[in-house]
Amino acid sequence: MSSAESLCYTLINPTTQEEDLTEQQIKADIEDLKADHKQKAEALKRLIIQTLNGEKFSPTMAIHVIKYLLPTSDHTIKKLLLIYWEIVPKVDEEGKLRHEMILVCDAYRRDLQHPNEFIRGSTLRFLCKLKQPELLEPLMEPIRECLEHRHSYVRRNAVLAINTIYNNFQHLIADAPEVIYDFLQQEKDASCKRNAFMMLIQCDRNKALAYLETCIDQVHTFNDILQLVIVELVYKVCRSEPTQRGRFIRCVYNLLQSRFGVVIG
């Protein structure tokens, strides 16, 4: 694996000057049946910090984490596990996916269907960082289902996950532009609509323009974060295709009526 492929997205600064624990000590703390969630979370933190500091652990460490921590319902441990699976090696020396990652994938499939919106949303954000299509493919169905969740936090992050997956592995969700266009038609939350509209601008500008035409008389009522994205689309189209300027006159006029005072240059 090249150094670029092994880079992580998260850096954690150790808050104590304690000596590093050995692999056996960390395993013992994780396995301790008498330990409470707080103690297990501290052991997982030490494992994460030492991993980020470059310490190599045997593949059996991941197995211990799967066996003793992955089934937990504690939110702190779940949040730490998202960091751990982000930084842990997911492929072996031959570049093949480690077998234990299949178990992790199955666990996150369940988390994508969890009744708690924080767990669903944070899991979706974690999936944006995965670079292994083999792990993402079994999760595509529950990711799609999250677009219909009652909570905007889940829907917003589902759009981000779909956008990232479409950009990196288009074959996993080839109909993403159509899915997001349909999502925009019925979505009410401003932040969700912003994420979805931005995705369409990037991956299918024609569909973004088609959506804008359906709501051109309502743009002055939109939240400012969505109006700014509309301005960005108008600017890009007018710069690349000056002959299209006439089609946006009504849109610009409506934006100027907005109470948010969006600046149009």
The CATH H-level (homologous superfamily) assignment of domain 102-203 is Leucine-rich Repeat Variant (1.25.10.10)
Q: What is the mean pLDDT of residues 115-127?
A: 94
User: What's the pLDDT tens digit per position in 186-203?
Assistant: 999 999 999 999 999 999
Q: Give the list of residues 6+ apart from residue 67 with CB closer than 8 angstroms, or none.
A: none
CA pair distance 81, 78, nearest whole angstrom: 5
CA pair distance 86, 10, nearest whole angstrom: 8
What pLDDT does residue 11 have? 57
What letter represents residue 146's amino acid? C
Whether pLDDT at 256 is above 90 = no
**Burial (CB count <10 Å: 0-12, 13-18, 19+), residue 77:** buried
Q: What is the mean pLDDT of residues 190-217?
A: 93
Q: What is the mean pLDDT of residues 18-29?
A: 86
Confidence of residue 3 (pLDDT cuts 50, 70, 90): very low
Whether pLDDT at 1 is above 50 = no
User: What's the pLDDT tens digit per position in 24-83?
Assistant: 999 999 988 788 899 999 999 999 988 888 888 988 899 999 999 998 889 899 999 999
Closest CA to 162 of 124, 189, 106, 192: 124
Confidence of residue 247 (pLDDT cuts 50, 70, 90): confident
Give the global pTM: 0.84
CA pair distance 159, 170, nearest whole angstrom: 14
Q: What is the mean pLDDT of residues 217-245?
A: 89
- Locate CATH 1.25.10.10 in the chain: 102-203
CA pair distance 9, 66, nearest whole angstrom: 22
Proportion of the chain above pLDDT 90, given as a percent: 54
The answer to whether residues 84 and 47 touch, using CB atoms and an 8 Å cutoff, is: yes
The answer to whether residues 86 and 129 touch, using CB atoms and an 8 Å cutoff, is: yes
CA pair distance 43, 54, nearest whole angstrom: 17
Better pLDDT: 93 or 27? 27
| Cα end-to-end span (Å), the chain | 47
Proportion of the chain above pLDDT 70, given as a percent: 91
What pLDDT does residue 19 have? 73
What pLDDT does residue 124 have? 96
CA pair distance 184, 265, nearest whole angstrom: 26
CA pair distance 25, 3, nearest whole angstrom: 29
Whether pLDDT at 161 is above 70 = yes
From residue 245, alpha-carbon distances to 74, 75, 174, 204 in Å are 54, 51, 31, 19
